[in-house]
Amino acid sequence: MGACIAKSSARIYRISLTTWGWMLRGEPAPTGPARRGAKPDSFGLLVINDPALPPVLAELAAARADEIDADTVNRELSIVRKAIGWWQAQGWIETDPTIGIERRPAHLDRTEALAKPQIAALWALEVSVREKAFWTLLHESAARADEILCLNIEELFPSDKRGRVVSKGGAVEWIHWQSGTAQLLPRLIAGRTHGPLFLTDRKAPARTPTLDICPTTGRARLSYRRAEEIFEQSTRLLANPLASPDAFDDLKGWTLHRLRHSALTHDADDGTSTLMLRARSRHASVRSLERYARHGVDAVPQHGTSPV
């Protein structure tokens, strides 16, 4: 089904369809830490024709929508409907049990940029080279986290401080980084020449796609879910500076998207042109840049001041 899609898109399709694998069996999909590495039992597609499935599926989808953000829920629904349409075209199934499940209204993106002192505090954290390199590359390139995680070592051009990524639309594009990333990449790569740039700490489990396994170490590509989890946990005390460390488990940290958002907002604060912001963000529409053009907290104190 759709072999000619970007690697990042293929990963998203695989994750989404794995999630629906539980629900199409009439079971709730696991969330949080329980989701990591979990896979539903296999089943024949003919169970999708069961007339009792649609109401059960609607309840499961509604319960999941109460726990997961609207963008993720809508993306998963869109992907499973594409798969169902393709299965119907092959004559494998007759019905679409997702009919009646409505898309959730997406919330406005009100993400706030991190202040520059917060970014500095982030760089001061004692974390592994992998996390330091990932966060630095994400901030310096203003790229999407899933694009960065899909990078392979052979797609890097260190002498030019740039790398080749496949955007969510399938186009081949370039990201650029600065000295911070340039200093960290050799330590991260450690002599490897091929395979995923960012790896898990353990050997790849069985059935991991070959393209997501490092041929040198045998470890798997770091997933977005795990990368987001690590970042959120690592930044809980930074996001809640007045909280007691004893309340750590009840705190919420930052999201990876805030690094991309912060990089673009700081560019706008520093007077970067709209055309350059569009080139940095690789957005197709100038209008989509409006969310980043809202000045951050760093810009307010500087407004109206003049150099002495």
Model-level pTM?
0.64
Band the pLDDT of 288: cuts 50, 70, 90.
Answer: low
Is residue 151's pLDDT more than 90?
yes
- Domains annotated for the chain, with CATH where assigned, are 7-89 (no CATH), 116-297 (1.10.443.10)
More confident residue, 300 or 20: 20
Percent of the chain with pLDDT over 90: 44
Band the pLDDT of 4: cuts 50, 70, 90.
Answer: very low
The predicted pLDDT at position 307 comes to 44
CB 163 within 8 A of CB 105: no
Is residue 306's pLDDT more than 50?
no
Of 240, 265, 263, the C-alpha closest to 253 is 240
Is residue 25's pLDDT more than 80?
yes
Band the pLDDT of 276: cuts 50, 70, 90.
Answer: confident
Cα–Cα distance measured from residue 132 to residue 198, given in angstroms and rounded to the nearest whole number: 11
232 Cβ neighbours under 8 A, 6+ residues apart? 252, 253, 254, 255
Percent of the chain with pLDDT over 70: 82
Q: Rounded to the nearest 10 degrees, what angle do helices 257-269 and 274-281 cross at? A: 160
Structure tokens at 17: 């369809």
In the chain, the DSSP E strands lie at: 156-157, 162-166, 172-176, 199-203, 219-221
- Among all chains, which residue has been given the structure tokens 């960290």? 184
Is residue 299's pLDDT more than 60?
no
Band the pLDDT of 16: cuts 50, 70, 90.
Answer: confident
How large is the average pLDDT for residues 21-30? 88
Q: In whole numbers, what is the pLDDT of the chain averaged over residues?
A: 84
pLDDT in tens, 156-210: 999 999 999 877 666 788 999 999 999 999 999 999 999 999 999 999 998 888 9
Strand-pairing partners, residue 156, are: 163
> Count of alpha carbons within 13 Å of 174, Cβ hemisphere only?
9
The predicted pLDDT at position 287 comes to 55
User: Rounded to the nearest 10 degrees, how much is the dihedral formed by the CA atoms of 235, 238, 240, 241?
Assistant: 160
CB 79 within 8 A of CB 12: yes
